[in-house]
Amino acid sequence: MSTKTISYKKDLQIKEEYDVVVVGSGPAGICAAVSAARMGARTALVERYGVLGGNLTVGAVAPILGSVSKGTLRDELVERLGVPDCDEIGATQQCHDFEKAKRVLADFAHEAGVKLYLQTAVVDVVMDGDRVDGVIISEKTGLKVLRAKAIVDASGDGDVAFYAGAEYQMGRDGDSLVQPVTLMFTLQGVEEDALTCIGEVDFVQYKGERFLDYTTRLCKEGHLPPYSASVRLFRTLVPGERLVNTTQANGIFATDSDDVARAEVDLRRQIDQVTEFLRKYVDGYQNCYVKGSAETLGVRETRRFVGEYILEDNDLRVGRRFDDVVVHKASFIVDIHNPAGSAQAEGVPEEVTPYDIPLRCLIPKKIDGLVLSGRCISGTHRAHASYRVMSICMAIGEASGVTAALAAKKGVNPREIDYKEVQKVLLDRGVNLFD
Ligand SMILES: Cc1cc2nc3c(=O)[nH]c(=O)nc-3n(C[C@H](O)[C@H](O)[C@H](O)COP(=O)(O)OP(=O)(O)OC[C@H]3O[C@@H](n4cnc5c(N)ncnc54)[C@H](O)[C@@H]3O)c2cc1C
Q: Compute, in angstroms, the gap from residue 386 CA to the centroid of ligand 1.
A: 14
Give nearest CA residue, ligand 1 atom 27: 156
Is pTM beyond 0.85 here? yes
The residue that leads in pLDDT, 420 or 199, is: 420
236 lines ligand 1 (CB under 6 A): no
- Tens of pLDDT, residue by residue over 112-141, are 999 999 999 999 999 999 999 999 999 999
- Tens of pLDDT, residue by residue over 147-193, are 999 999 999 999 999 999 999 999 999 999 999 999 999 999 999 99
- Tens of pLDDT, residue by residue over 220-279, are 999 999 999 999 999 998 999 999 999 999 999 999 999 999 999 999 999 999 999 999
Return d(Cα 143, Cα 149) in angstroms, integer.
20
Return d(Cα 269, Cα 262) in angstroms, integer.
11
Q: Compute, in angstroms, the gap from residue 28 CA to the centroid of ligand 1.
A: 8
The predicted model gives 9-38 an average pLDDT of 98
- For domain 13-172+301-428, the CATH architecture is 3-Layer(bba) Sandwich (3.50)
Residue type, position 16, single letter: E
Q: Which atom of ligand 1 is nearest to the CA of 392?
A: 11
93 lines ligand 1 (CB under 6 A): no
Domain ranges, ordered by start, for the chain: 13-172+301-428, 185-293
27 lines ligand 1 (CB under 6 A): yes
Contact 381, 172 (CB under 8 A): yes
201 lines ligand 1 (CB under 6 A): no
- Tens of pLDDT, residue by residue over 357-379, are 999 999 999 999 999 999 999 99
Q: Which atom of ligand 1 is nearest to the CA of 66?
A: 11
Contact 43, 33 (CB under 8 A): yes
Q: Compute, in angstroms, the gap from residue 299 CA to the centroid of ligand 1.
A: 7
384 lines ligand 1 (CB under 6 A): no
Q: Which atom of ligand 1 is nearest to the CA of 159?
A: 41
Contacts of 161 (CB under 8 A, 6+ apart): 153, 168, 303, 305, 364, 367, 370, 372, 376
